[in-house]
Amino acid sequence: MRLEMLDQIELEKSLKSNHELRKEAEKRQQELLKAGKIDLDSEALKQTAQDLEDAYNEESARFKPAPRVTEADRKNDVRSLDRKLEQTLVLLVEQKLGSKSHYLLPQGQHRKGESMRQTAERTLQEYCGDSLKATFYGNAPVGFYKYKYPTDARTEAVGAKVFFFRSVLKEDGGSIANSKLKYQWLSQEELQQQLHQSYYQSTMSTLENTLQIEIKLEKEKTNQALLKDHVEKYSELTQSMSKILNSFEQRLGKLEHTILPVYNITKNLQKQQQNLDSTLQCMEQVLSHYDASQDVCNLIHQGPSEGNIGSFLDGLNKLKKAKDYFLNNNPQSVELENVTSLFNNGCETLNNHFKSLLKKHNAPLKPVDLLDMIYIEEDSSNEDCPSIKQLPPSAREELNVIAQWLDNNLRREYVQIFGDERSEVIMRSLQNLKDHQKSGSWGNEPLRSKHGYGRTETGAKKTTSARLQQIFERKANKMFMKASQTLGQSAGLAMRKNSSFGDILAAEEYGNDNDQELEKYLVLLLGLQKLLVWERQLLNDIVPPSRHNEVFSRLSQPAIEMVVRDAEQITSKVMRSISRKEWSAALGIFSALKHVQILQPDIDRICDTTQKQQLSGVLNRLQQTASKGLEQFIDSVRNDSGGGGMVSMTSSTISYGGGSNVPRDATVYELTSNTIWFLEQLQEHCDTIGGLLQTEAVYTNDLDRISSQKALSVEQKNKALLGTYVRKVLAELNYTIATKSEQYGDPATKQLFKLNNTHYILKSLQRSSLIDIVALTERDCEQRYQKMIQDLKKAYLGSWSKLVSFIHPLDDMPRPINGKVKDKERATIKDRFSNFNKEMDDAVKTQRAISLPDVQLREGIKRDNTEHIVPKYNAFFEVYSDVQFSKNIEKYVKYRPSDVTTMLNSFFDDTV
């Protein structure tokens, strides 16, 4: 029965046909007959599968397929259906259309009361008789052909439609009984030659669509038959498998009934054996606990040795197990006290070993080594780095094993030990760096080779400022690349390099003595960041992950507090400098703020929330100091208008100078030039200042107004905020200039002073591109300044009104008759010439001492003066110079028009 079941399973899974299976079965039967294992019976005399296969092969060899070319094909008998066997033939009959006969598809006139199909069936019967048996498909036509009647034959209709129905001859289709009928059975190629082109296209499109439908129908019928056959086979297989499974289930039930008792007895015996083994193991463990103190006593008192910590930890683990056993099972025993005392001594010894191993390798970094870590900016995994050399791999591995064991056994003293020791290393390293910064060699340290710390590279000696610049450029570029990749992938946008990161301050910004402290502080902050990075790596190598935050907070806290204190001291000193109007200190704080912002992401990555909050105080202090510097600069420009003191600046400092007197030559006011200088420096810190100003409502309101008009990028927003600040400063400066001009008594000098300063402001804004920044907030800024200049020029020309009134207009003057005037009129002419001469001499004396530094402005004013005065004086001179109004005419007619021109051109002598 079992063999039959397996044979049946093999049959179901087999991919062989019934004939192949029969051949294999007969082959096995022949082998059994030869071996004498079965007797020959009447079944063996039947025809075998091999005999059947041979007979099939013989019959196949005798078979010859019928030819596909028939006699009708050779004779081209188009009236015969026995031709072109591989193609579909279409019936055409001869019909008379008009006066000519044509071969067309059978067609007839539709009769009233008939359906279109009935008309088609009747027409075919009338042409071919009843002997031709055809099957019509469908009650609707499969196509139609439309044609028009000749013009002379039209009555009511202009044409007719011929509708086509598809019909197919049955297998026993018969033949055409009408012997007089002329007809043809033609293939598709023959139809194209026989029929008219338009008629052929109408019929063949219908024929092709019908053929395709027929082909699809036959295909679906074949698929349906195949599917039905598969369903029947699957049904047979399902029934067979159901029988096999039922039989298998019955046999399993019998087997279970027989084997289950034996299994239960065996299971009980195994359980008894396991209980016995467990009891023996427990006895051995209990006895080992009583011997634990004696076994490991010498090992614990000797203590661990470097490189061989495993045996000591094994002894402690043995004591721990014994302690737990006595604590749970015999808490009053003497053995518990012995084991506990010895275990605590061992843990204390392990802590001391952990501390001594740390101290052995905890030398602080030399300043040069720490500077090399900062300047080289190599990857933290570099084996040449001195901080990695402090703790060799073997020591780190041993410390990690100790820390893991102590943490697993709830002995957390190592947290304090590690934090205090590494904190001391950081503090001493930073203190050494600060001491080194105070030494005379600061700023000119040689840069060590990346491949060896014992020698220096040729030509690698750079200033500290240049190295800092390179460091922050690399950091800024990394931040920019990371931001570009994230936004591009998400939005498909291309980013342009942001000036706040890419345009790092030039080296000369650090060259002044007043900026040394900020530079040193930045180096100190970079040193702290580097040290904390390495400490993070040491934590990963030594301390369990669950204690990382606690230990890191402990070891970094003193150093962070020191850096925060230093920041407070530096910013306080900067604020004192700003209060003394030393504005280069403000520029230095902008540089420091920019660099700290670049460094901030690196610090955030290595610090926890607490440290981030503490270190953010550094950034906040710098931001507050920078904001106050901007505010106080506006106040200094505004307060200068009160006449209490004049702001005096150099390219590096701003301080109070003596006196509030305006320049005697009415040249550009020092406050104006210094203010423009300061504003030009702010361009390099555009994004930093933008970040500061966006927290103040007065600036954000203006930015909102601009943003509502057009979309702005981040860079444009920062420029707009800076533009608003510059506009406020310029407004205060304009007011100050107007106030200061009142100190001049001469109206012309007053206007020239304002003109000089306003012209200088406009040219400086254009030269430094500040005009583009201000234009973001005030589009007509440049036009407004140009209008101010034109108004000041008109006001200056108006200062000549008194002089001009003596010579113009001539209508108010006495008119000479034959070169003579009355006595009373002579006095008037004398007064006019005298007053003109006096005013002209005073103007020459005053305005020759005035300076107009800009050549174009100076020459333009001269030209305007000449055009305004000379033509009027020339007219006056021509009328009255020859009049005998005095015995001493030369006393009054001192200047000819050419002399006046020369005098006007002598104004604003640049050599004065």
Low-confidence ranges of the chain (pLDDT < 70): 1-15, 39-47, 153, 173-174, 376-390, 440-515, 641-660, 819, 909-912
- Residue identified by tokens 């602080």 is 364
448 strand-pairing partners: 456
Residue-level pLDDT at 457: 40
Per the listing, tokens 């006007």 go with 904
Q: CA separation (Å) from 222 to 24, 326, 636?
A: 33, 86, 101
Predicted confidence at residue 4, as pLDDT, reads: 62
Q: What is the pLDDT of residue 502?
A: 34
CA distance 526 to 471: 10
Q: Is the peptide bond preceding residue 392 cis, with omega within 30 degrees of 0?
A: no
In sequence order, which residues have a C-beta less than 8 Å from that of residue 530 and are 6 or more positions away? 370, 373, 374, 387
Where do the domains of the chain lie? Answer: 2-62, 73-195, 612-788, 801-905
The pair of three-digit structure tokens given for residue 814, joined into one six-digit string? 């006495």
Q: How far is the C-alpha of 503 from the C-alpha of 169, rounded, in Å?
A: 92
Query: In Å, what is the CA distance from 316 to each residue of 87, 304, 322, 344?
Result: 99, 11, 10, 9
Helix axis angle, 548-579 to 413-438, nearest 10°: 30
Q: Which residues are CB-contacts of 813 (< 8 A; sequence separation ≥ 6)?
A: 828, 829, 832, 876, 879, 880
Q: CA 483, CA 478: separation in Å to the nearest integer?
A: 9
Dump pLDDT digits (tens) for 172-181: 766 787 777 8
Q: CB within 8 A of 439, min separation 6: which ones?
A: none
Per-residue model confidence as pLDDT tens digits over 679-697? 999 888 888 888 888 888 8
In what helix (H) or strand (E) does residue 45 lie, and over which residues does it extend?
Answer: none
Same fold, 612-788 and 801-905: yes
Which residues are 136's β-sheet partners? 167
Q: What is the pLDDT of residue 518?
A: 81
Altogether, the residues listed in the chain come to a count of: 912
Q: What DSSP string describes 163-213?
A: EE-EEEE-TT------TT--EEEE-HHHHHHHS-HHHHHHHHHHHHHHHHH
Residue-level pLDDT at 903: 92
Q: How far apart are CA 386 and CA 380, in angstroms?
A: 11
Helix or strand run (H / E) with residue 232: helix 197-302
From the candidate CATH numbers 3.90.79.10, 3.40.1160.10, 3.30.70.260, 3.40.50.720, the one assigned to the domain spanning 73-195: 3.90.79.10
The pLDDT score that the predictor gives to residue 380 is 42
Backbone dihedral region for residue 492 (phi beyond 0: left; psi -120 to 50: alpha; all else: beta): left
Q: How far apart are CA 225 and CA 245, in angstroms?
A: 30
Q: What was the pLDDT predicted at 389?
A: 57
Please check whether residue 901 is in contact with residue 862, taking contact to mean a CB–CB distance below 8 angstroms. Answer: no
Write down the H helix ranges in 97-179.
Answer: 116-128
Beta bridge partners of 100: 97
Question: What is the CATH number that goes with domain 801-905?
Answer: 1.20.1280.170
- Token representation of residue 897: 């028009």
User: Residue 279 and residue 727: Cα distance in Å, rounded?
Assistant: 93
The residues near 502 (Cβ < 8 Å, ≥ 6 apart) are 473, 476, 477, 480
User: What is the C-alpha separation between 34 and 29, in angstroms, rounded?
Assistant: 9
Backbone angles phi, psi at 453, to 5 degrees: -90, 5
Instruction: Identify the DSSP state of 638.
Output: H
Our measurement of the distance from residue 679's CA atom to the centroid of its chain's CA atoms, rounded to an integer in Å, reads: 33
Residue range 740-781, pLDDT digits in tens: 999 998 999 999 999 999 999 999 999 988 999 999 888 899
In this predicted structure, what is the pLDDT of residue 124?
A: 85
Residues facing residue 163 across a β-bridge: 144
CATH superfamily of the 612-788 domain: Exocyst complex component Exo70 (1.20.1280.170)
Taking each helix axis from N to C end, the angle separating 584-606 and 464-491, rounded to the nearest 10 degrees, works out to 60
**Which token pair is 678?**
């300061």
Question: Looking up tokens 């002399």, which residue turns up?
Answer: 899
Q: 287-326 burial string, b = 16+ CB within 10 Å, else e?
A: eebeebbeebeebbeeebeeeebeebbebbebbbebbebb
Q: What pLDDT, on a 0 to 100 scale, did the predictor assign at position 650?
A: 35
CA distances to 11, 33, 227, 248 from 234, in Å: 14, 36, 10, 21
